[in-house]
Structure 1
């Protein structure tokens, strides 16, 4: 599937070739577009095209509408003291003997020296001298005698067959050649950025897919000393220390892992090098009055083009439907990290582009502030300024504290700024260059990736909801800020462990908001899944038996009774989520839930998903013997999906309908759940509603830690590290923190492969990864799957 991204990008380039054919030139410079197909012919044309002929027509400056329509390639005539401007038509040139003979002789002499064969000379004569007409031919237009008079450098008229001014031809030929070389390099380096960045990702994805298809190869690689060395020194460790998914101090951001940092460093270094190399100057130059302005123009065009390229890459990496995710098995967190770095690089290049083009007006021969003000008033110029400002703000406002504290505000602002930036880039290019040089192709890619993401999201919603909403039962878990949501989707998913889904709540104020929630459990059609928790059912029964009176033995956990229990539909697909309440939609959901006397309510939701849970992501589990789930707090949601998968694959009543997802844990013989949470009520809720039913499954073991406050009268038990593994979910939790290192090492067995699945905070994931690296260095066969999210 990842290959489809590269093919789609290439197809877009081909599509742009056809689309642009309707409005301009085709493709990009060097691939479909040639700046000047015949340089010597173009030089002859540009050296002569500004001269007046005896058939030139003249109009006053007022009739011409000023100088705005002049071609930038024609020589400046700022020193002309004339009130009239001439227009020389193609028909005029095709019938003018001095023009035809001078052009023919210039092409024959100069293009022959450049190695052009006779047929190519004839073709370029037709294109440049006759605007594509077939007659008269080059041979018919050659003068009978070679001209002897060379045009003056400041000549204004061409009244007789002449020699092109040698200095002017040299300057024009050199200017065009250097400008074209620079433009070709812009495209070449842009394609290298694309091919290296996406190519490395595709290679990694291909290797992952191979190991997915061949678990035997996976085990061989695990036993290979060189691969083990790479895993313990490059692929698994943090760059420095142990921080990877835990934010840096003061929430300054994240420090990517070592292998990801190497990839990012390579990407950034390529962009720095390609933004700074292969700039040459040619003087005297017919485009640029000074060397400084010329170099500024080349650097500005290079950084502007690369900025477009990296912007499209950033948009690709930002999508939750990015097809590289299932192909590589990399998490969306990884691609969001790459997205931020690509966006930073694109923004810095846009800033450099703006700075160097601003500095160019202060180069010798240019008017400084007055000329800059005049240029900045042009629509193409101020649209470029708008785009740069929008990109800069989008990058600046994406700092971590803002993303964490007011995520929804950040997201809306981010989208608005990116839309403004893309619109500004589009008008900056189209108003200045039209469709002639193919710069818009890089924007086509950005638009396509953006549109693909939005269309697929809408398609998922339509498919899973069938143009209607899904019903859900929402229940509060007592004595905690956690809500359980049971959704009855209109369309059954291909359920599996490690998945998450985005839920929309149309009954709340902000119907457009959506939030990702991990799948805690699922029921396929025909299976039994109680809608109401066991605790709440027991609470209802207790109150009924006592006539609804007060009970001295009733704890806070079971204090709320059920006034109305939704019917349990046996044939309906269902999926469960745990939600920790934060600000925004989840807080509003909790308020409405508390307003219900029963402590639960029914509501409508829209589902978008499922996402994640790909075989490439879970590839280490395919050939593992032991699965150790290290869980922190609400992370048990993800762990419960793996428990259901394990029990389904190992129970005598295992579900054959599991298909390919069932094979994820088919080799596992042991499953350990090591869970630490601060809410005792959450631990008891999960035990009673999810874990009691798996106690009889061979190989399942439990260990619990509670880090919350100890209720009055309860005796404190010391932390026992990895001790206390039990085959029953009724095992009492240990008070204190889990010793992650001890838990991991206690799960290892000689000759067996262990995969650690981490479902918890960034700090827990980082500590687990550090301990796994130590175990790998000690010779243990252990791998890690991180089900952690970083903002």
Structure 2
């Protein structure tokens, strides 16, 4: 965790320099839209009036009609043909100076705006920052009595600002500013509540992990047992959790996670729906309906940006919250998907209300909308909303399961398009005045920090070059064994996985990587340990061993030769099942270019990940560890078996183990069900270690397999209920580790809940890659 934290913090710090360098903040936090509202209202109530020094095209007043009213100019008329009132003109025009000064004095005094602030704002608003003339010098000696008409065109004498226009302008700005402040308040509240609640859970988990006594008190508490039984362990409804919904619609989060997601969704609904007001008469909006649409659109747009940043944070595999909380990346990806869905829903509402607004009273419907939609900032917003919608719609489980690499490429591309669309929707149109871009800076920072950390990991663990690896087929099944000799060996342990890049195979898609559980690791101090060398498991089923084809032993022999020839080199091993994408390309490459059951390849290793202290906390006080495994899920359990055997070996030699887990465990049970008998035999011969306290049971679900008398391999499906019940003991702590198909994991969860209900002390640790 320490390395991940350091990498992420360094990259996040470098990425966030743009946020701090922006020097603007957001509305309410660094940006005040109307710091001197009374002054700004005075200026904007007078700024459209012509002065005696106003210049007109061709030095005449042809833009005025005979009645003195302004002519309406076509929208496309160049600014050069418009009348211009320069700053120098206003600074030297007495009616302007005295009218502004009196307006500021009278109206700002009424709202308690101090004289010093009045002087500053007069300099800013009336004379464009000039030192002279001052407010006091410009106050008229005689109080003006004539009020300007609402439709006045010229300011030729010191006058009173039209009261109706001042009231409408002041109220419009005040209500708009209030609304923008609420947008920010709810946005800040949301990101603090979401990330803060996760941080709080992480801190609690860290305290529990470093306090075994406190941890034991919690585990023996009846209240905690009830919470686990009814809140933390169960699925939302029924027993379905890791098993996909019918039609592969997705996975149902656990009950506690579902409750938190529900609270998060409700918060977003509330924050998107409250604290709206309207002010009429309004100088900016022709109807209160359009005004409300504007405020709802701005609120949902801002919250969508905030949720986008949250979604990007939760998607990163270098996310510091993973190590802090001990939650799996699967959990954070579930949170990522829900925050992305909420962000998308808010983006759609943002687009819908802004579209509907042009059909409200005072607007021309399709014509007004078409004029807006033709502007670049507007159609960039449409592009962003469509990208959001497509990214969420195409993240369906069937596509992720059948073509994950394709899904990921499309998903990242659409996410980038959405962020680019947001940028060009906001910044060219609003500039930096409202601070909307800050939420994009945060999203960019989270994304670039994670990507930069990945590059640093690759560079560090591979020393700017590829690592050697040997790929070996396991005959009789679609599994291959990959042994990697990393250039840097550091921090490998149980419960970890690593991402492998093999760019030299298939279509040469160098960007593709896949996570694989680390089945075994060595630090170069001794050769790889095989089961046959322990003289334990090789005798469990000698008849079955004889029946296996000679080719099934070739990998074992190759492994032993490999071990003896590389005993001074660190290594990590993986077992990969060929599906689609990279793993399918690897097996195809072996069949085309390899002249034997193995081949050498160059790989890049990005890892290790996971295996954090808080994740492994349930193993600290466990007396018994039960590994319930299905299929290729054995790779995750093998690391714990290796660690348990290592602790036992050191204990037997009188050496105090440095391991922080399983120190108390005296019993480790492996219950493994797999379809392929060759895979079972390969793991038994090459990975499983006959150590004191270890118990191994196997089930083969291949229809063609039939167990013979005396075998310890059972034909058919595992009876999970009897396995779990046989492992628990009164007064002992049992930790159940599950890594297998969704149906198996859900059944194990139900059995653990049943045991907790009956008074047994049982923890559940699930490992699933439901990505």
Per the TM superposition, whether the score is higher than 0.5 is yes
Please give the alpha-carbon distance, in whole angstroms, between the structure 2 residues aligned to 1:390 and 1:689. Answer: 49
For the Cα contact (< 8 Å) 1:486–1:531, is it kept in 2? no
For the Cα contact (< 8 Å) 2:476–2:552, is it kept in 1? no
Please give the alpha-carbon distance, in whole angstroms, between the structure 2 residues aligned to 1:134 and 1:397. Answer: 60
Cα drift, residue 593 of structure 1: 2.6
For the Cα contact (< 8 Å) 1:625–1:753, is it kept in 2? yes
3-state SS of the aligned residue for 1:308? helix
Name 2:253's counterpart in structure 1: 256
Name 1:639's counterpart in structure 2: 637
The yes-or-no answer on 1:558 pairing with 2:551 is: yes
Please give the alpha-carbon distance, in whole angstroms, between the structure 2 residues aligned to 1:656 and 1:590. Answer: 45
Q: Aligned match of 2:744 in 748, 755, 764?
A: 764
Name 1:123's counterpart in structure 2: 120
Q: Aligned match of 2:694 in 693, 700, 705?
A: 700
Please give the alpha-carbon distance, in whole angstroms, between the structure 1 residues aligned to 2:15 and 2:502. Answer: 40
Deviations 1:61-92 (A, max 9, x none): 9xx9xxxxxxxxxxx97757999522222222
Cα drift, residue 594 of structure 1: 3.5
For the Cα contact (< 8 Å) 1:246–1:763, is it kept in 2? yes
For the Cα contact (< 8 Å) 1:43–1:169, is it kept in 2? yes
The yes-or-no answer on 1:625 pairing with 2:623 is: yes
Please give the alpha-carbon distance, in whole angstroms, between the structure 2 residues aligned to 1:533 and 1:88. Answer: 94
Name 1:603's counterpart in structure 2: 601
Cα drift, residue 591 of structure 1: 2.5
Counterparts of 1:258-273 in structure 2, within 5 Å, are: 258-273=255-270
Name 1:741's counterpart in structure 2: 721
Q: Aligned match of 1:335 in 309, 332, 336?
A: 332
Unaligned runs of 5+ in 2: 63-68, 539-544
After alignment, is 211-220 or 524-533 more displaced? 524-533
After alignment, is 167-176 or 404-413 more displaced? 404-413
Please give the alpha-carbon distance, in whole angstroms, between the structure 1 residues aligned to 2:72 and 2:602. Answer: 75
Change (3 A) 1:106 1:591: same
After alignment, is 515-524 or 553-562 more displaced? 553-562
The yes-or-no answer on 1:516 pairing with 2:515 is: yes
Counterparts of 1:484-633 in structure 2, within 5 Å, are: 484-508=481-505, 509=507, 510-529=509-528, 555-556=548-549, 558=551, 568-595=565-592, 596-633=594-631
Please give the alpha-carbon distance, in whole angstroms, between the structure 2 residues aligned to 1:512 and 1:112. Answer: 65
Please give the alpha-carbon distance, in whole angstroms, between the structure 1 residues aligned to 2:653 and 2:295. Answer: 64
Counterparts of 1:278-293 in structure 2, within 5 Å, are: 278-293=275-290
After alignment, is 176-185 or 474-483 more displaced? 474-483
Cα drift, residue 674 of structure 1: 1.0
3-state SS of the aligned residue for 2:650? coil
3-state SS of the aligned residue for 1:383? helix
Cα drift, residue 58 of structure 1: 2.1
Change (3 A) 1:248 1:182: same
Name 2:22's counterpart in structure 1: 20
Q: Aligned match of 1:378 in 375, 380, 387?
A: 375
Cα drift, residue 20 of structure 1: 2.6
Q: Aligned match of 2:301 in 292, 297, 304?
A: 304
Please give the alpha-carbon distance, in whole angstroms, between the structure 1 residues aligned to 2:11 and 2:674. Answer: 46
3-state SS of the aligned residue for 1:651? helix
TM-score, L = length of structure 1:
0.89
Cα drift, residue 57 of structure 1: 1.8
For the Cα contact (< 8 Å) 1:631–1:759, is it kept in 2? yes
Please give the alpha-carbon distance, in whole angstroms, between the structure 2 residues aligned to 1:319 and 1:13. Answer: 15
Deviations 1:261-315 (A, max 9, x none): 1111111111111111111111110011111111111111111111111111111
After alignment, is 120-129 or 290-299 more displaced? 120-129
For the Cα contact (< 8 Å) 1:485–1:579, is it kept in 2? yes
For the Cα contact (< 8 Å) 1:504–1:514, is it kept in 2? yes
TM-score, L = length of structure 2:
0.91
For the Cα contact (< 8 Å) 2:19–2:441, is it kept in 1? no
3-state SS of the aligned residue for 2:699? strand
For the Cα contact (< 8 Å) 1:383–1:428, is it kept in 2? yes
Name 1:727's counterpart in structure 2: none
Name 2:393's counterpart in structure 1: 396
Change (3 A) 1:8 1:495: closer
3-state SS of the aligned residue for 1:316? helix
The yes-or-no answer on 1:234 pairing with 2:231 is: yes
Change (3 A) 1:757 1:532: closer
Kindly report the root-mean-square deviation, in angstroms, between the aligned alpha carbons of the 2 structures: 2.9
Please give the alpha-carbon distance, in whole angstroms, between the structure 1 residues aligned to 2:492 and 2:657. Answer: 10
Change (3 A) 1:655 1:376: farther
Q: Aligned match of 2:206 in 205, 209, 214?
A: 209
Matched positions, count: 741
Name 2:541's counterpart in structure 1: none
For the Cα contact (< 8 Å) 1:41–1:107, is it kept in 2? yes
Please give the alpha-carbon distance, in whole angstroms, between the structure 2 residues aligned to 1:128 and 1:637. Answer: 71
After alignment, is 483-492 or 765-774 more displaced? 765-774
Name 1:427's counterpart in structure 2: 424
Cα drift, residue 117 of structure 1: 2.1
Counterparts of 1:107-118 in structure 2, within 5 Å, are: 107-118=104-115
Cα drift, residue 653 of structure 1: 7.0
3-state SS of the aligned residue for 1:631? strand
